[in-house]
Amino acid sequence: MSKKIQALESRIRKKISPEVSLREWRSSIVLEGTVSSWDELYTAGKMCANQGYKGVVNKLKVKDLDIPRIKRPQLSDHALQGKRVDVLIIGGGIIGCAIARELSKWQLSILLVDKEDDVAMHASSRNDGMIHPGIEPKIGSKKAIFNVRGNELYTRVAQELDVKVIRCGSSVLFDYKLLKLLKPFLLKRAEKMGVKGVTLLSREEVLKIEPNIGIPIAGAVHFATTGIVSPYKMTVAYAENAVQNGAEVSLNTIVLSMTKEHNRIVSVETNRGTVYPRLVINAAGVFADIVADMAGDQFFSIHPRKGEIIFLDKKKGELINGVIGKPSLFQAQTNTKGGGVVKTVDGNILIGPDAYEQPFREDFSTHMDHIEVLMEKHMPLVKGLSPADVINYCAGIRASTYEEDFIIERSEYVANLIHAAGIQSPGLASAPAIAEEIEKLACQALREVMEVKPNPTWNPIRKGIPELSRMDFAARSKIIKENPHYGEIVCRCEGISKGEIIDAIHAPIPATTIDAIKRRVRPGMGRCQGGFCLPSVMKIISEETGLPMTAITKKGNNSYLVVEETKQTPTQTLGPGGESHE
Amino acid sequence: MSNYDVVVLGGGPAGLAAALASHGKGMNTLIIEREHRLGGILKQCIHDGFGLVRFKEKLTGPEYAHRFIEQVQAQDIPVLLNTYVVQVDKSEAGFELTVVNRQNGIEKIEAKALIMATGCRERTARQVFINGTRPAGVYTAGTAQHLVNLEGYLPGKKCVILGSGDIGLIMARRLTLEGAQVLGVYEAKSTPSGLSRNIVQCLHDFNIPLHLSTTITRVFGDDRVEAVEIAQVDENMRPIAGTEQVIECDTVILSVGLIPENEIAEMLGIQMDAATRGPVVDQHFMTSVPGVFSCGNSLHVNDLVDYVSESGEIAGASAAQYVRETRVRELVEIKKDNQDFLYVVPQHININTSNQQVILYFRSRDIRENMRVTIKSGDNVLFSRKYVILRPPEMERVRFQLKGDIPAGRPIEITMEPAEDKGVAQ
Amino acid sequence: MKNLICIECPIGCGLQAEKNGEQWIIKGNRCRKGEQFAINELTDPRRSVCSTVKTIFKEVPRLSVRTDGEVPLKSIFEVMEQINRVILERPVHIGEVIIENVCNTGINVIATSDLIYLLEAK
C-alpha cells in the first residue's frame, strides 16, 4: 500500500471509523469495511475523492441499513434470446437515448434496453429542465466542456427533433452592492469557459426582465444562453428518432449479468434473454457503477443524491419569464445546488430542486419537510406565489460520483465497453454533446472489429405530436377537419385532445400507460391532476390497444388502476351492521 | 359565427336551470357542454337525496338532472355537446367565445351575456400535502365514483378514505356495496365535513369507522398503493409526532374539498373572492364584469343541488334582464366578520334594481349554537333570524326584500350574535 | 340506552332512546319528526338502495338504478346480489322497472338514468 493511501486511510479511520480500510485497485481507491451511518459512508468516500486517483469505489457497508435490491421488471420472456447486435446501450435516459440517436447515423444494429416501462423514467423526467449556461462547473472539468458544447447544440438538435426549447435566460440575484467588484472575475471566468451572453444587471435592469421579484436585490448576473426544455419530451424525441432510423428499444428489460472472454464482453444476460453485442455502452444512470461492476470495470461508485421539485399551477406562470435563482454561483464547487424558480416550457412554475445525500437509488418518495423548505426558500423570490398554487411535487435521484464529474470514456480494461456515467446536473444540458462524443468513441471501438459505414437513409428530422392548444385557430381548425379526434378535448385543464393522445399511443415508442401519455402530451398534468380525464384516457388506451381496462397501468408492472369489473364477483354475504347507532 | 342573447357555459344542474330560466324569459339561449351528455357531475351521483327542497322527493342525481334535461329538450334549447371553450373575449355585442369541437373545428360564438356554470373540481392529494411515493391507487372520490358508477370498475379492494366530505362518505358506501372493503374514513378536522345523514347512512350502517383529527401523511408502494401512514393532528392540523401508524391498503380515496372552476371567467379578468374561490357577485349573480353571471358550484361550493339550480335560475333570469335593459349598477358591499362567517354570497347588493328580492347564502366559520343572524343597512333591519345551530358543512340560505332606506356608499352588514333566548328555528 | 343522530333535518339532534317495556322513550329531539325517526330506526330501519346494473351497451356499460321505496336495512346486500345479476339488454327509459318485487320486499328496482337518452346522445 502506498504511503499516500496509508495516510488517507488513517485520516479516515480517525475521523470516521477504525473499521474502514483502503486499497488501490487499477489506480482507483477502494473503500471496504463497515460504518454506522450513510453519512459516514458518504464522508469517507468524499475524503478519497480528487486525491489523484482515477476513481473512488466505495464498498463500505452501513451497519443495520437495509438497502432494497434493484427493482426488476415483472416481465420475463425470451424476446431477446440470442440476439446479436453491434451496439447495446444500457439505459433509456436522456444520455442513452441521445447516444442511440447519434449512433443511428451509422449502419449499425443498435439495441437500447431499459428496465422501466418507458424511457426517461428516472432522473431524465425528474429534473428542472434547465439547459445551463455552463458557468458553474469546475473549469476544465468534463462537466464544463460538455455543458457549454451541449448548450450550443440544443438549438439545432431540438429543431431537428421538433422539441420546444426556450432560451429564456437566467438571472442569479444578488442582494449586496459588491456585485460590481465581481464583474472582472466573472467575465474572465465566462470567457475562459466559453460561456457567452453573461452580463451584470442593475436592479432596474433585472426588474425589466423579471418584474415580479419579491425580495430586495442589488442586481443580478444574467445568463442569456440559459434555456429550458421538457427533459422527458427531449428524451422521448431522441429515442423516437433513433427508432425511426432503425434502432431498437426494448423496455422492461434489465441487465442481470455479463459474460466476458479475455478483455471483451461476449454476452449480456437480461430478463428477456441473452444478447450478444459487439459493443456495450453503459448509460445506466444511478446503476452505472453496478453495470460497470458486471463487466469487471467498476472504478467509480454512484452515491444517490436526491432532490425534490414542486410544480405550480400554470395560472402563476406569467409571473416570471425565465429562471431565477438566489446565488449558488460561487458555491459552484459545493455540488449541492440551491435550486431556483423556473418557468417550464409548458408555462408552469417549477421550484427546486434541493439536494441531499441518501442511500436509496430508486426511492422517489417526497417528504413534507423538504417540500416546506423549498416553498419557504423560493416562494418569496417571486411576488404572488403561495402554497395554494402547488399542484404536484416529485423527487429525482442524481447519479453522482465522488469525483463529481462526468465519466465519458472507453473502458481501460474492457475492450468493448464505453462508459457514459456519473451524469448528474448539468447532464441534461450536456446530453447532445455527450452523445456526440460517445458516438465518436463507439465508432472508433467498432472500427477495430468491423466496418462502420454511414446509414444512407438516416433522417435527423422527427416530427412531434401536434400541440393543438398552441396552434393558431386557422391551423387548428384545418387539422381537426382532417382528423376530428383533434377536436375532442379530453383533458380540460390542459386542453388536450383525443387525437393527441391517440398519436402518443401509436408513436414510434408507443405510450400505453397513463404516465407515459402524460409525459408526451400532458393529460393529467394540470390542476386537477387527472381527476377528470383519467377514466377517459384509460378508455382511449383500451380502445386503441385492445387492452382491457383492468390491464391498463399507471406506469407498467403492477400499477393497475382498476382491479376488476363490478358485478363480477358475488358481493359479500354479510348483512350490514348498523342495526343500531351506538 | 353564430349569435345568441345568452350563452351558458356548462350543462350541469346550474347551467340547465340557468338556460331554462333565460330561455323562459324569451332569450335566444345556447348551452355549451364539454362532455358527451348533459347533467354534469349528477350523471355519476347515483345515490339519492337530491331534490328534497325543490321536488319534496328523494331523487338520485341522474333523475334530478333528467327533469331539467327533459325540459331543455322539450323547449328545443340548442346545446353544443363535446364542445370546449378555448378563449373568451369582450366584443362589441358583448362577448366572443372561441370553441372547439369535432364537427366544426374552431368556431366563434357571440353572446350578449354569459353565464358561467362551470362547476368545480376536487382538491388533490398534493394540494393537501400528502407525501411519500406516487403509486397507482390514489383517487379523488369523484374519479373513483366515475370509475365505479359509469364505467363499472372497482378501483381497489381495500380502501381508506381521507376526508369526510359528502362524496367520500357516499363512496365509502358505494365501494362497500360493490364488494370492496373500506377500512376507515380519516378526517383532519375535529368535526365531520359531510352531512349528518351521510355519516349515518354511509358509515354507521356499514360499521365503517370515522377517525376525526387524523390524517394521511404518507403513501407507500411503488406500483400500487401498499399502505398509508396516518397520524393524529393538532388544532392547526399539523401531524403530531409519535402518533404515526401504518395501515395496509391498496387504495386511497380523497374527499378533501372542492374548488370552483373559474379558469374561463379568469380570462375576462373577473374579480374573485378568496373565501369562496368563485367570482364576487351581486344579488343577480352578476360578476364584476357586466354581462357575465355565475352560478352553481363555480360561484361557491354548494352542498345541496336544489340551491345550485336556484342560483342557476337567478343567474338565467338576471342575464335575460340584463340583455333587455342595461342599468348602471349601484353596488353596496355586504360587510361581514370573517371570524363568524366563512363566506357570504352575494358579496354585493345592487340597489339600482327593480327586483327587490335577495337570496343570500352563507356558511358559518365554525359550529355555533343559538345564534341570531341579522342583515341590516344602518338601522334598517332587512333580515333577522335565530338559528339553533350553524355548521360550516351546512350552507344556510336566506331570503329578504330590499326595503326601506338603503343608501349607496354604506355597506350592508351581516352579523352573527348569540340569540337572546333559546328556541327552535323559525 | 342507544344514541342516534336524527337525520330528518340539518340540525342533526343527538337522540337518546331508552326502552321501557315495549315502548321506546326518546329524548333529545327538538321536534316530533325526531321521535318517529328514532322509533323507526330502532324497530324497523329501512333504506333505499342505489346501485347500477350491467348493460350490453359499450357506450353505457352501467345504468344507474334504485329501489322505488325503502327496503329493510338488513336485506341491503341481498338486494345488491339480485341487482348484480341483471344484464340489461334493451334500452330503457328512466323510471322503468328493472326488477319487480326485489327479494320479496314488495319494492321494485327502477332505472334512474334514461338509457335511451344516453345512447342517443352519443
Question: Which residues of chain A does B119 touch, with a Cβ-Cβ cutoff of 8 Å?
Answer: none
Residue B276, pLDDT score:
97
How many domains does chain C divide into? 2
C-alpha angle B401-B402-B405 in degrees, rounded to nearest 5: 140
State the average pLDDT over residues A38-52. Answer: 97
Please report, for chain B, how many H helices and E strands are present, in that order.
Answer: 7, 29
Residues C74 and C117 in one domain: yes
Single-letter code of the amino acid located at A303: H
The closest CB to that of C54, out of A567, A575, A578, belongs to A567
- Indicate the pTM of the whole model: 0.95
Residues C54 and C28 in one domain: no
State the average pLDDT over residues A467-485. Answer: 96
Closest by CA position to A91, among listed A106, A68, A74, A70: A70
Residues C64 and C116 in one domain: yes
Above 80 in pLDDT, residue C105?
yes
As a dihedral over the C-alpha atoms of residue B368, residue B374, residue B379, residue B380, rounded to 10 degrees, the angle is: 180
Please give the grid coordinates belonging to residue A240.
Answer: 423516437
Residue A10, pLDDT score:
97
Residue A74, pLDDT score:
95
**Before A353, cis peptide (omega within 30)?**
yes
Minimal-distance CA residue of chain C relative to A576: C74
State the average pLDDT over residues B278-300. Answer: 98
The closest CB to that of B48, out of C11, C66, C121, belongs to C66
**Is C98 an interface residue toward A (CB < 8 Å)?**
no
The architecture of the domain spanning A468-551 is Orthogonal Bundle (1.10)
Tell me the sheet residues that pair with A58: A31
**Is C41 an interface residue toward A (CB < 8 Å)?**
yes
Residue B421, pLDDT score:
66
**Is C108 an interface residue toward B (CB < 8 Å)?**
no
User: Mean pLDDT of all residues in chain C?
Assistant: 92
Concatenate the DSSP letters of all residues of A50-89 into one string: TSSSS-EEE--EETT--PPPPP--S----TTTTEEEEEEE
A356 and A38 Cβ atoms separated by less than 8 Å:
no
Above 60 in pLDDT, residue B426?
no
Confidence of residue A305 (pLDDT cuts 50, 70, 90): very high
Confidence of residue B301 (pLDDT cuts 50, 70, 90): very high
State the average pLDDT over residues A474-480. Answer: 96
Residue range B302-329, pLDDT digits in tens: 989 999 999 999 999 999 999 999 789 9
SS3 A536: helix
DSSP structural state of residue A556? S
Are A582 and C53 a contacting pair at CB < 8 A? Answer: no
Sheet holding C62-67, edge to edge: C87-88, C50-55, C62-67, C109-111, C97-99
**Is C12 an interface residue toward B (CB < 8 Å)?**
yes
Above 80 in pLDDT, residue B128?
yes
Are B223 and A477 a contacting pair at CB < 8 A? Answer: no
A529's enclosing H/E stretch is none
Above 90 in pLDDT, residue B355?
no
Above 90 in pLDDT, residue A470?
yes
Confidence of residue B55 (pLDDT cuts 50, 70, 90): very high
- Options 2.60.40, 3.40.50, 2.50.20, 3.10.20; CATH for B328-426 is 2.60.40
C-alpha angle A519-B152-B82 in degrees, rounded to nearest 5: 60
Confidence of residue A337 (pLDDT cuts 50, 70, 90): low
A120 and A235 Cβ atoms separated by less than 8 Å:
yes
**Is A550 an interface residue toward B (CB < 8 Å)?**
yes
**CA distance to A341, A473, B71, per residue, from A204 (Å):** 20, 38, 61
State the average pLDDT over residues B376-381. Answer: 96
Single-letter code of the amino acid located at A425: S
Closest by CA position to C3, among listed C13, C20, C17: C17
Question: Which residues of chain A does C2 touch, with a Cβ-Cβ cutoff of 8 Å?
Answer: 580-582
User: Would you say the CATH fold of B124-256 matches that of B1-122+258-326?
Assistant: yes
User: Mean pLDDT of all residues in chain A?
Assistant: 94
Min CA distance, C22 vs chain B (Å)? 24
Q: Which domain holds residue C61?
A: 50-121
- Which parts of A392-426 fold into alpha helices (H)? none
Residues C57 and C110 in one domain: yes
**Is B46 an interface residue toward C (CB < 8 Å)?**
yes
Catalytic hit among A122, A132, A303, A370: A132
Above 60 in pLDDT, residue A571?
no
DSSP structural state of residue B238? P
Distance of CA A565 to the CA centre of its chain: 37
- Which residue in this structure is represented by grid cell 384516457? A537
Minimal-distance CA residue of chain A relative to C45: A579
Residue range A412-443, pLDDT digits in tens: 999 999 999 999 999 999 999 999 999 999 99
CATH label of the domain that carries residue C85? 3.10.530.10
Tell whether domain A3-62 is in CATH 3.40.50.300.
Answer: no
B165 and B186 Cβ atoms separated by less than 8 Å:
no
Min CA distance, A225 vs chain C (Å)? 51
Confidence of residue A286 (pLDDT cuts 50, 70, 90): very high
A78 catalytic residue (yes or no): no
Residue B182, pLDDT score:
98
Above 50 in pLDDT, residue B148?
yes
Confidence of residue C21 (pLDDT cuts 50, 70, 90): confident
**Cα(C79)–Cα(C75) distance, rounded to whole angstroms?**
6
Question: Which residues of chain C does A536 touch, with a Cβ-Cβ cutoff of 8 Å?
Answer: none
**Is C16 an interface residue toward B (CB < 8 Å)?**
no
DSSP structural state of residue B127? G
State the average pLDDT over residues A126-154. Answer: 96
**Is C42 an interface residue toward B (CB < 8 Å)?**
no
The domain segmentation of chain A, as residue ranges, is: 3-62, 166-221+303-399, 468-551
Residue A338, pLDDT score:
59
Give the lowest-confidence range in A54-68, A249-263, A327-341, A380-394: A327-341
Residue range B184-231, pLDDT digits in tens: 999 999 999 888 889 999 999 999 999 999 999 999 999 999 999 999
Residue C122, pLDDT score:
40
In chain C, what percentage of residues exceed pLDDT 70?
98
Are A578 and C73 a contacting pair at CB < 8 A? Answer: yes
Minimal-distance CA residue of chain B relative to A367: B131
**Before A216, cis peptide (omega within 30)?**
no
Question: Which residues of chain B does A476 touch, with a Cβ-Cβ cutoff of 8 Å?
Answer: 100, 105-106
State the average pLDDT over residues A18-42. Answer: 97
**Is C39 an interface residue toward A (CB < 8 Å)?**
no
| Positions of E strands within A433-580 | 489-491, 496-497, 564-565
Closest by CA position to B388, among listed C3, C36, A582, C29: C29
Q: Are strands A83-90 and A110-113 parallel, antiparallel or unpaired?
A: parallel
Residue A330, pLDDT score:
47
B9 and B117 Cβ atoms separated by less than 8 Å:
yes
Are A573 and C77 a contacting pair at CB < 8 A? Answer: yes
Residues C38 and C75 in one domain: no
- Which parts of A448-565 fold into alpha helices (H)? 473-482, 498-505, 514-521, 534-545
The domain segmentation of chain B, as residue ranges, is: 1-122+258-326, 124-256, 328-426
Tell whether domain B124-256 is in CATH 3.50.50.60.
Answer: yes
Are B152 and A530 a contacting pair at CB < 8 A? Answer: no
The closest CB to that of C50, out of B37, B47, B389, belongs to B47
Count CB-CB contacts under 10 A for residue A120. 27
**Is C59 an interface residue toward A (CB < 8 Å)?**
no
The architecture of the domain spanning B1-122+258-326 is 3-Layer(bba) Sandwich (3.50)
Min CA distance, A496 vs chain C (Å)? 20
**Cα(A422)–Cα(A402) distance, rounded to whole angstroms?**
9
Above 60 in pLDDT, residue C71?
yes
Please give the grid coordinates belonging to residue A20.
Answer: 474502514
- Options 3.30.300.20, 3.40.50.300, 3.10.150.10, 3.30.9.10; CATH for A166-221+303-399 is 3.30.9.10
The closest CB to that of C47, out of B62, B205, B388, belongs to B205
Are A571 and C80 a contacting pair at CB < 8 A? Answer: yes
Residue B309, φ and ψ in degrees, nearest 5: -65, -40
Q: What is the ipTM of this complex?
A: 0.96
**Is A458 an interface residue toward B (CB < 8 Å)?**
no
**Is B391 an interface residue toward C (CB < 8 Å)?**
yes
Question: Which residues of chain C does A567 touch, with a Cβ-Cβ cutoff of 8 Å?
Answer: 52-54, 84
Residues 6+ apart with CB under 8 A from A560: A550, A551, A552, A553, A554, B136, B223, B224
User: Mean pLDDT of all residues in chain B?
Assistant: 95
Residue A579, pLDDT score:
34
Residues C67 and C85 in one domain: yes
Distance of CA A28 to the CA centre of its chain: 27
Q: A543, A564, A571, A582: best mutation site toward chain C, by most C Cβ within 10 Å?
A: A571
In chain B, what percentage of residues exceed pLDDT 90?
91
Are C4 and A581 a contacting pair at CB < 8 A? Answer: yes
DSSP structural state of residue C47? E
Q: C50, C74, C103: best mutation site toward chain A, by most A Cβ within 10 Å?
A: C74
Confidence of residue A196 (pLDDT cuts 50, 70, 90): very high
Are C48 and B424 a contacting pair at CB < 8 A? Answer: no
Min CA distance, A247 vs chain B (Å)? 29
**Before B62, cis peptide (omega within 30)?**
no
Residue A183, pLDDT score:
83
SS3 A470: helix
Are B122 and A484 a contacting pair at CB < 8 A? Answer: no
